[in-house]
Amino acid sequence: MKSLDDLKKIRDGAQKKVVMRGKHDGIRILVGMATCGISAGARPVMNLFVEKIAERDLNTVTVTPVGCIGECAIEPIVEILQGEERTTYCRVNEEVAERIFNEHIIGGKVVSDNVIGKFRL
Amino acid sequence: MIERSHVLICSGSMCISRGAKSLRDEFEEHLSRLGIRDEIKLVNTGCVGLCEQGPFVIVYPEGVFYATIKSKDIKTICEEHLYKGRIVEKLVFDEALTETKEVRAFDEIKFYAKQTRVAIRNCGLINPDDIEEYIAKDGYRGLGKALIEMKPIEVVQEMIDSGLRGRGGGGFSTGLKWRFAYNNESDQKYIICNADEGDPGAFMDRALLEGDPHSILEGMMIGGYAIGADKGYVYVRIEYPTAIEKLKIAIGQAKEYGLLGKNIFGTDFSFDIEIRLGAGAFVCGEETALIASIEGGRGMSRNKPPFPAAKGLWGKPTIINNVETLANIPAIIYEGASWFSRIGTERSKGTKVFSLGGNIKNAGLVEVPMGTTLREVIYEIGGGIPKNKALKAVQTGGPSGGAIPESNLDLPIEYETLIEAGSMMGSGGMVVIDEDNCMVDICRFYLEFTVEESCGKCTPCREGTKKMLEMLEIISSGEGTLEDLDKLRDLGNMVKNSSLCGLGQAAPNPVLSMLDNFRDEFEAHVVDKKCPGGVCKPLIHLEILDNCIGCTKCAINCPVDCISGSLKQLHSIDTSACIKCGICKNICPVDAIVSI
């Protein structure tokens, strides 16, 4: 440790390790991961979100696996929660997930092709 | 693979003793079985504070707080929460559930929301075995600031301005203590961390050493820079094996990262820290006895002056700071003295960590700003007394402190107010005493401890405490007289005024304060020959009231078969054969058995 800059470098790197344990006011990605969701392929979708978030260092975005909301026929289901706004996507494969990430989470624009409902809570 | 979730497993000594050790293995097994091991990060943390409800598992990013977790619960948490994302409500700490059964995040629980965490800021939130997690929480930035931006005397002045006072019990200004050592010219000076926590009922220091060891190392280094020491010792008792292990890991990692050693941060400052193990003698918490023990001698105190700041370890100027004091220092230097002095009251700045124990619902570790009232700590954070029993007193300061009666519960916590109330801050043990306790018996317990721990060097402490204990035993057996109470007070004052060191000077405090505040209870023992708390065996007998339902539970469990009665009939106790063990009283489903 030769300078404050050295410490800062370690600190910036290390904060990525613990950022999840802070408060989150940002975007939450909920992935339907009940048995139906998993068998429809939700796991690789969830993993893709996790990797993309890490790649871009988006420390205000978290991914949470959640249960089934009942529409098993159109799984995998992904919900994006931003403040009071909730967007629900259906039939999300990896390709759609990538679009949701790029267009919605980064770009702020809903991917309307896969939305089943967009409403105020 | 990047983790999507962090699972924090409390691995403080308390949780370990409640079975937390196997939890990590269970997680490993079930997560691997489900094929999601890579997605989850498992972190063993230090004490999260709410020890009574341990072991704990906290799951992020949601911050879900699972309490009283057993090995078999891990399977459910893995399968439901981590695999399917369904929070397991029945395992969530009950105060974390709202009335509508919504799950509150960890830091919104009343127990935590009411606290201000400075010293234990990282306990339970970081992995103590990973220096990078400490650095991520701004660790070692205080040291960097001190070494690069401040002169040693400026660090000393900053500490004086902050108003920080010793957290080991004495309450002397840390900054002024440092200035004495700073002003004493010497070729060699030392910093010692006093981690010889020995009060019955106190475990703040252990939790800090186990949960955030780097904060203590950083505090020592800042102190070393300020007074001109390049060597530090942590004096810790061998009864704290986990704390010792965490310290060793922390020292090793600090060396590896160049935070201990030569030319730290590229400056001229070098520092080294070694651990010294004590055998667990209470007197070694006293500065001069502690020094004697490090030097390889017998742990005995000596006369002061000279104070250790002038002539300490191996005759060199030495500063001895308590664990909690040291843990505050990095935050004070990094955030500034004015930030710290805004917390607390005019006379007592900052916060204080208490280990809350005795008859209280949420026993554990709490940190509150000075000036918080005892009532807030006990009822709002501590959750009150189990079974809605009445509070009789709060004991602070362990065997060196006293008991504060219910009528004084609205006192703000400050060094001075506690002394005025006949007790003391001490190192932070806080034992809640309810109506079912006997004050004479509690005095006896503390005296037994000091008699055992007296080093024997001076007569008042060695002989005086022993005689005091004998007198208490006479009183609790019902053989005492009113005159004995006066004799006990006189002897207590004599021991207090003439003992050599803090151990003897403070040993009579529990007796003196309880004689003042609970004289009626002592009188009940010597005049009425009764123990109002129903504790002192020679003065009580057990009786079965007529609300007995005749379940026969008491008769079946009585070890001396002195309870008779047939099914669904009122039972009775043969008091001549009864050994007053109390098993029947505890086992009775309708509370029909009382001690009178």
What are the structure tokens assigned to B502, written together? 């803090």
Q: Does A51 sit within 8 Å of B2, measured CB to CB?
A: yes
Q: What is the pLDDT of residue A119?
A: 42
* Mutation to test the B interface, candidates A11, A31, A59, most B Cβ within 10 Å: A11
ipTM for the predicted complex comes to 0.80
pLDDT tier for residue B181 given thresholds of 50, 70 and 90: very high
Flag if A50 and B39 touch (Cβ within 8 Å): yes
Tokens of B254: 């600090």
Domains of chain B: 5-113 (3.40.30.10), 138-341 (3.40.50.11540), 351-434 (3.10.20.600), 439-528 (1.20.1440.230), 541-595 (3.30.70.20)
Average pLDDT over residues B497-516: 95
Task: Determine which of B31-35, B113-117, B205-209, B365-369 has the lowest per-residue pLDDT on average.
Answer: B113-117
Query: For residue B499, which of B446, B442, B456 has the smallest C-alpha distance?
Result: B456
DSSP letter, residue B94:
G
Structural domains of chain A ordered from first start: 30-120 (3.40.30.10)
Asked if B462 and B415 count as a contact pair (C-beta separation under 8 A), the reply is no
Q: What is the mean pLDDT of chain B?
A: 92
**pLDDT at residue A117 in the model:** 63
Query: Taking CA atoms, what residue in A is nearest to B79?
Result: A34
Residue A72 sits at the chain B interface (C-beta within 8 Å): no
The answer to whether A121 contacts chain B (CB < 8 Å) is no
Nearest beta carbon to residue B85 from set A10, A33, A50? A33
d(CA B341, CA B175): 13
Which pTM was predicted? 0.87
Does residue B259 register a pLDDT over 90? yes
10-residue mean pLDDT profile of chain A (121 residues): values are 88 81 76 82 90 85 78 83 84 93 91 71 35
Q: In this complex, do A35 and B84 lie within 8 Å of one another by their Cβ atoms? A: yes
Q: Do B84 and A15 touch (CB under 8 A)?
A: no
Mutation site, A8, A19, A21, interface B, largest B CB count within 10 A: A21
Strand residue runs (E) in B229-378: 231-237, 272-278, 318-322, 351-358, 364-369
pLDDT of residue A22: 67
Which of B61, B125, B136 lies nearest to residue A64, judging by beta carbons? B61
By Cβ distance, the residue of B4, B137, B263 closest to A63 is B4
Q: How far apart are CA B29 and CA B285, in angstroms?
A: 43
Average pLDDT over residues B115-127: 90
Amino acid at B5: S
Question: What pLDDT, on the 0 to 100 scale, is given for residue A120?
Answer: 37
Decide if A15 touches B, using CB distance below 8 A.
Answer: yes
- Inter-chain CB pairs, A–B, below 8 Å: 89
Amino acid symbol at B131: I
**Chain A hits for B136, Cβ within 8 Å:** 11, 14-15, 17-18
**Nearest-CA distance B279 → chain A (Å):** 35
Which of B527, B500, B524, B522 is closest to B511 using CA atoms?
B522
- Minimal Cα–Cα distance from B320 to chain A, Å? 27
CA distance B119 to B106: 19
pLDDT at B436 over 80: yes
B126, closest residue in chain A (CA to CA):
A18
Is the CB of B266 less than 8 angstroms away from the CB of A47? no
pLDDT of residue B20: 87
Query: How distant is the Cα of A18 from the closest Cα of chain B, in angstroms?
Result: 7
| B465 burial type by CB count under 10 A (0-12 exposed, 13-18 middle, 19+ buried) | buried
Looking at residue B469, its pLDDT comes to: 97
CA distance, residue A105 to nearest chain B CA (Å): 17
Within 8 A of A15 by CB-CB distance, chain B residues are 136
DSSP string, B254-284: HHHTTSSBSSGGGSS--BEEEEEEE---GGG
Q: What are phi and psi of B103, to 5 degrees?
A: -95, 120
| Edge-to-edge order in the sheet of strand A85-89 | A62-66, A28-32, A78-82, A85-89, A115-120
A2 and B265 within 8 Å at the Cβ level: the answer is yes
Q: What is the pLDDT at residue A23?
A: 60
Cα separations (Å) of B425 from B65, B352, B480, B491?
Answer: 31, 9, 32, 24
pLDDT computed for residue B35 by the predictor: 87
A81 touches chain B (CB under 8 A): no
| Averaged pLDDT for residues B141-157 | 96
Over its C-alpha atoms, chain A yields an Rg (Å, rounded) of: 16
d(CA A50, CA A43): 11
pLDDT digits (tens, 9 = 90+) for B202-216: 889 998 999 999 999
Q: Within 10 A of B149 (CB to CB), how many other CB atoms are there?
A: 11
pLDDT at A16: 77
Say which residues have a Cβ less than 8 Å from residue B435's Cβ, sequence separation at least 6. B389, B390, B391, B392, B533
Residues of B in contact with A62 (CB under 8 A): 4, 61
Tokens representing B314? 């191996």
- With beta carbons less than 8 A apart as the criterion, state whether B418 and B404 touch: yes
Q: How far apart are CA B420 and CA B147, in angstroms?
A: 40
Residue B107: list chain A partners with CB under 8 A: 23
Q: What is the pLDDT of residue B347?
A: 93
Angstroms from B251 CA to nearest CA on chain A: 15
Would you say the C-alpha torsion B503, B511, B198, B382 has a positive or negative sign?
negative
Kindly determine whether residue A18 and residue B133, on different chains, have CB atoms separated by under 8 Å. yes
User: What burial class does residue B517 get, using C-beta atoms within 10 Å of its C-beta: 0-12 exposed, 13-18 middle, 19+ buried?
Assistant: buried
Give chain A positions within 8 Å (CB) of B266. 2-3
Chain A: give the shortest CA distance to residue B469, in Å: 51
For B40, the 3-state DSSP assignment is strand
Of B135, B252, B489, residue with least CA distance to A7: B135
pLDDT tens digit sequence for B380-409: 999 899 988 899 999 999 999 999 999 999
CB proximity B257 to A under 8 Å: yes
Query: Average pLDDT in the B299-309 region?
Result: 93
Contact present, B373 and B365 (Cβ < 8 Å): no
pLDDT mean over B74-92: 90
Q: Does A51 touch chain B (CB under 8 A)?
A: yes
Quick one: closest CA in B to A17, which residue? B133
Helix (H) or strand (E) holding B405: strand B402-405
Q: Is A47 on the interface with B (CB under 8 A)?
A: yes
Question: So what's the pLDDT on residue B96?
Answer: 79
Q: Which of A5, A15, A18, A24 is the mutation pick for testing B, counting most B CBs within 10 A?
A: A18
